[in-house]
Amino acid sequence: MKRPINRAAFGLLLFLIVWAPIPLGSNRPWAWALLEIGIFATGLLWLAAHLRREAPITPVARAAWPALLLFAAWLIWIGLQWLPLPAGGLQALSPNMAALQALRGEGGAHFATLSIEPHATKVFWLKSCAWALAFALTLLLVDSRKRLWWIGGTFVASGLVQAIFGGLMHLGGENFIVTDALVANASQASGFYVNRNHLAGLLEMTLAVGVGLMIAQLDNRASRGWKQLAVDLLQVVLTYKAALRVLLVVMVVALVMTRSRMGNTAFFVSLLVAGSIALILSRRATRSTVMLIASLIVIDIFIIGAWFGVEKTVQRIEQTTSEQVQERVDPAIYAINILRDYPVFGTGGGTFYNAYPQYRGADIIPFYDHVHNDYMQIATDAGVPGLAMLGAIVLLSFFAAVLALSRRRDPLARGIAFGVVMGVTAIAIHSTVDFNLQIPANAFVFTVLLALGWLALYLDRHERKGQTPVDKSA
């Protein structure tokens, strides 16, 4: 059955995964507007395909209803922040915000909002709509194993584009300026991102999916000892699997070149966590597979990475001073006071830059548009309930992937599940000292990654035994 509109929608989704990081991580108004337009256009294409009966609602989308319901609740929650409310209603919901709005001349008999900057919250709400739609579209458009391979490969392609560009620019000692932003690659690899830590965040997710795809292609039979492990290793080196292996090497080298302390730490720890979970949950197979992948990544870092400055990253971690740690921790500590004053609704999505100056200590001199802690920023923007909603979406998707590792016997499902567990763990660790999820490109890619957890658990294996992923039409 030909499905031209459905294919166009899926192709646009794949394009956006590669495109989103290129214009400064889509972290400029014009860039995130283009990303949002692309996501909404993909949604309209899916709707048109659905009306033409090209794109039914998939079983995976139905199974993921708890996450979709939480996304809907999140959108209502953020939408409530920028809607004008009567003074009495505002007083009942957030007394401190009512008092602040009255001081600003926006309270009293007039309508006022739960957000201290409603325009910023509207922008934040539109982004949230786009991320929620991207999550749903991934569940709706990835309706076959071939498409699951395609989206996994696109993750690798997205990371590879950034890795090659950032690596070559770094080796050449080149910086460049886009609009008002200096993209520094001379001292470290930043790719198309202004901040190297955000390139590291993207690579954490794309590498995780790449490792998962590699696991999906390895022998899924029960381990027969070290001899079989050696055979698996030779297969990786001497067969078509070597191509993916080389791509992962390039991405690992780029991650090392970012000199991101927490980025590299999160990658290693997430690999250990995902590998441990996979080993514990494996009943018949893949113990040798996980050992193989873990050993190969270690070889990458300590042998190949040594040629590209891994020792500089290690030295940077070792030389991290208590003052440098405080530079990241202090803003988050002061931000706790925002949460104390606005615990339920926060100050409004996207308003941290506006709220923080009133709370920072005299020792905080630089301007912070984001606190170096995603958890704290989400809490101050949306309150504890908002943080709980997003946290529940992440946890549900993570545990869907864990269940896939435990229940599925499909190598592709298990490989994608491994990638989701690894990628989510890496971002969860990195988010304690950075703000990857405030960068539109990374937030978008992370949202798609969460959807892959549900696909790993619920997407049926339709191909007959022995079919390759390219045997069926997309």
Give pLDDT tens digits for 170-192: 888 888 887 778 888 888 899 99
C-alpha torsion 326→327→330→332, nearest 10: -120
Give the per-residue pLDDT at 246: 84
Q: Is the residue at 353 inside a domain?
A: no
Q: Does residue 69 form part of some domain?
A: no
Over residues 145-156, mean pLDDT: 97
The answer to whether 106 and 117 are in contact (CB under 8 A) is no
Whether 437 is covered by a domain: the verdict is: yes
CA 83/CA 317 separation, integer angstroms: 45
DSSP 382-435: HHHHHHHHHHHHHHHHHHHHHHHHHH---HHHHHHHHHHHHHHHHHHHHTTS--
Residue 371 phi/psi, 5-degree rounding, is -80, 145
Q: Residue 279: pLDDT band by 50, 70, 90 thresholds?
A: confident
DSSP 269-329: HHHHHHHHHHHHH-SSS-HHHHHHHHHHHHHIIIIIGGGGTHHHHHHHHHT--HHHHHHHH
Task: Tell me, yes or no, whether 336 lies in a domain.
Answer: no
* Cα-to-chain-centroid distance, residue 344: 26
| Parent domain of 235 | 4-63+121-324+364-458
Convert the pLDDT of each residue in 98-144 to its tens digit. 888 888 775 445 788 999 999 999 999 999 999 999 999 999 999 99
Q: What mean pLDDT is predicted for residues 65-78?
A: 98
Asked whether residue 93 is domain-assigned, the answer is no
Q: What percent of the chain has pLDDT over 90?
A: 57
Range of lowest pLDDT (116-130, 133-147, 324-338, 381-395): 324-338
Residue 159, classed as helix, strand or coil, is helix
With respect to residue 26, please indicate whether it lies within any of the assigned structural domains: yes
Tell me the pLDDT tens digit for each residue of 233-259. 566 555 557 788 889 888 988 998 898
For the beta carbon of residue 455, count every other beta carbon within 10 angstroms.
30
Inside any domain, residue 24: yes
The SS3 of residue 112 is strand
CA nearest neighbour of 266 among 253, 276, 281, 255: 255
Look at residue 218 and tell me if it is in a domain. yes
The amino acid sitting at 467 is Q
* Phi and psi at residue 179, to the nearest 5°: 50, -110
The string of pLDDT tens digits covering residues 424-443 is 999 999 999 999 999 999 99
pLDDT band at 357 (very low <50, low <70, confident <90, very high): confident
pLDDT mean over 52-56: 93
Q: How many domains does the chain have?
A: 1
**278-to-287, 294, 422 alpha-carbon distances in Å:** 8, 12, 10
Torsion angle defined by CA atoms of residues 156, 159, 164 and 165, in that order, rounded to the nearest 10 degrees: 140
Alpha-carbon gap, residue 355 to 34, rounded angstroms: 28
Using the predicted structure, report yes or no on whether residue 220 has a pLDDT greater than 80: no
